[in-house]
Structure 1
């Protein structure tokens, strides 16, 4: 599962970076819930995006990325979560 999640996070981050400049005017400071290289929704708080991710994707394979001028790849966490974790309590790499 960790390999699948890591691949999802990498793919989502790559996709996010390709479109972040278009998102900034209306979504700066918000959090994008991503699955399958697509933004599914935006949220004001990362916890809200994470919760919705678990509701929509029970397998835990999704990621959350802050819409910021200089988005940071937070590695394995990247506001992404692993179904086996305590809702996002895994560490950054």
Structure 2
């Protein structure tokens, strides 16, 4: 299992189902946010690749590098969620 999936699963395991301070459903919010983030980042990478231009191989490499950076930042965010560490 890739590291980011482990981090995400760990976050789901450690987050409370309901925030004790204001009653929000934190696990459900994380699931919704992650689903929306995946759609956003995939489309954003395609857009950035298309704007970059060049050969198909160059665009694919550029998109992959862009995606890698976005994923790295998302993992950092997930690792910093409350109650994770």
Query: Per the shorter chain, which TM-score range?
Result: 0.3 to 0.5
> Normalized per residue, which structure has more strand?
1
Kindly indicate whether structure 1 or structure 2 has the higher relative contact order, using CA contacts under 8 Å at least 6 residues apart: 2
TM-score by length of 2: 0.38
TM-score by length of 1: 0.35
